[in-house]
């Protein structure tokens, strides 16, 4: 955990998507100080008209490469979140040439009782995690 959801416009190759996920995971491990094996990622692809991401009147435009990254997580510090936003947009620009204005983040915070990793148990509550 965290659970990271990527909403994309259809058109990327499987290799591009795998690179996006691998790069993102590395940044998440470093920024949020999570274990390497703590990897939960979901990609959903949309027709362009199904993924509307305007600029909230900040004065920029997004392209077909837009990505909405939703992070479902236990509480994180402000510093961790800001580091994650900055480092991931930098890496995606550097490695995949995705423009920073095409990347939007949203955190959804939840608590230990909101997670079960299998077996019908709440592992954070049982002490297994």
Which sequence positions are flagged as catalytic?
2
Nearest to 1 by CA among 78, 116, 104, 81: 116
d(CA 48, CA 35): 35
DSSP structure string for 80-122 = HHHHHHHHHHHHHHHHH---GGGEEEEEEE--GGG---BTTB-
Residues 6+ apart with CB under 8 A from 56: none
What's the residue count for the chain?
129
Torsional sign, CA 81, 31, 118, 14:
positive
């Amino acid at each position: 955990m965290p659970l990271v959801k990527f909403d994309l416009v259809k058109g990327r190759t499987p290799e591009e998507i795998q690179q996006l996920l691998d790069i993102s995971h590395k940044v998440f491990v470093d920024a949020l100080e999570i274990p390497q094996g703590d990897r939960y990622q979901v990609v959903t692809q949309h027709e362009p008209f199904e993924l509307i991401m305007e600029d909230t009147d900040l004065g920029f435009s997004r392209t077909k490469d837009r990505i909405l990254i939703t992070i479902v997580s236990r509480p994180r510090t402000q510093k961790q979140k800001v580091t994650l936003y900055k480092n991931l947009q930098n890496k995606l620009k550097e490695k995949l040439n995705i423009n920073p204005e095409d990347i939007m983040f949203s955190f959804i915070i939840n608590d230990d009782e909101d997670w079960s990793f299998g077996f019908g148990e709440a592992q954070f509550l049982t002490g297994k995690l």
